[in-house]
Structure 1
Amino acid sequence: MNKIMKLKNLVMLLLLCSVTVFAQEHKEKREQIKALKVSYFTTELNLTSDEAAKFWPVYNSFEEKQFELRHNKIRPLLQKLDDSNFDKISDKEANTYLAEIQSNEEELFGLRRKLINELKPIIGPVKVLRLKKAEDNFNKQLLSKMRGKNREVRINERQKIRNR
């Protein structure tokens, strides 16, 4: 009995460590992306030091709220939908999901509207437009890099299999 308890505790400890390592790696990747974004936006927007000092706290607050909304409300909702069988869902349930989705999208839109209204007096409307373009371009480049890495991983896996 004592050996079984030790084994269970060891398994739980290993599981906890692996989850912690995964969470840390995810957080580090987010921080790397954030650093790249800061550099990219600063260059693209050509912010003065005064503008940057006022811009980044507002933008960072927006991003934190957006991240929380996406990961605490939108992601769980989409996971429910992935797990559900659409053939068995009732119209009432579908309408409930649609109302939730619409509410979340309106909240995201409200966050974006608030950001724009707060940034216009800080960096001006032209730079706010540049920000939108910079965000889109940054996300496209990031997605392209991620796709490239995924392709490299698949190619390397195929080569490993062939070499066996």
Structure 2
Amino acid sequence: MKKLYLFILFAGFIGFSQAQDDLPSEKKQQNIEALKVAFISKELELTPDEAQKFWPLYNQYSKELKTTIKDDVDVLDRDEKVLNLRKRYKDQFTKVLGQQRMNRIFNAEGRFRQLLIKSMRNQNLHNKANRQLPRRG
């Protein structure tokens, strides 16, 4: 069942990528964030009550993470700060989700990122192939 869900989500990414070409980048980012919320919610199997507690906390974590990644030029310093940030939020996530599902948060982020990158690569290959096809007319 989980493989079917991932396949459907991946197929959605492909369609999503194709539809994104004409959108402004801010709208693209909002669409990606919406897909991320859906993906992580499904991966963590959040109840409505848990989601209400989890998402404000996760959004705060995500905002700090983006700032850390954007502001730090030195790779090692950045990685250390990201690790410290994750450690700091670990206890808060555990209070909301429990230890087992807290561990799945960072894995779900990684899987989402991998699916997104794979989808973008496929879209780039698709666009490249379409540009190389001779036009009939």
Q: Mark the runs of 5 or more structure 2 residues left unpaired by the alignment.
A: 1-22
Which residue number corresponds to residue 114 of structure 2? 140
Which residue number corresponds to residue 130 of structure 2? 156
Q: Which has the higher helix share?
A: 1
Which residue number corresponds to residue 88 of structure 2? 114
Q: One-letter code of the match for 2:98?
A: G
Are residue 51 (structure 1) and residue 23 (structure 2) matched? no
Greater relative contact order structure (CA < 8 Å, 6+ sep): 2
Residue 26 and residue 72 in structure 1: after superposition, are their counterparts in 2 closer, same or farther (change >3 A)? farther
1:37-76, Cα deviation, whole Å (9 max, x unpaired): 1111111111112211111011111111111222232xxx
Of 127-136 and 45-54, deviating more is 127-136
RMSD: 1.7
Q: Distance in 1 between matches of 2:75 and 2:108?
A: 27
Which residue number corresponds to residue 103 of structure 2? 129
Residue 103 and residue 133 in structure 1: after superposition, are their counterparts in 2 closer, same or farther (change >3 A)? closer
Q: What is the CA-CA distance between 1:101 and the residue it aligns to?
A: 2.8
Which residue number corresponds to residue 31 of structure 1? 30
- The sequence identity of aligned pairs, in percent, is 29
Q: What is the CA-CA distance between 1:127 and the residue it aligns to?
A: 0.7
Aligned length: 114
Using structure 1 for the length normalisation, give the TM-score: 0.64
Are residue 105 (structure 1) and residue 79 (structure 2) matched? yes
Which residue number corresponds to residue 9 of structure 2? none
Q: What is the CA-CA distance between 1:28 and the residue it aligns to?
A: 1.2
Runs of at least 4 residues of structure 1 off by over 4 A?
none
Using structure 2 for the length normalisation, give the TM-score: 0.75
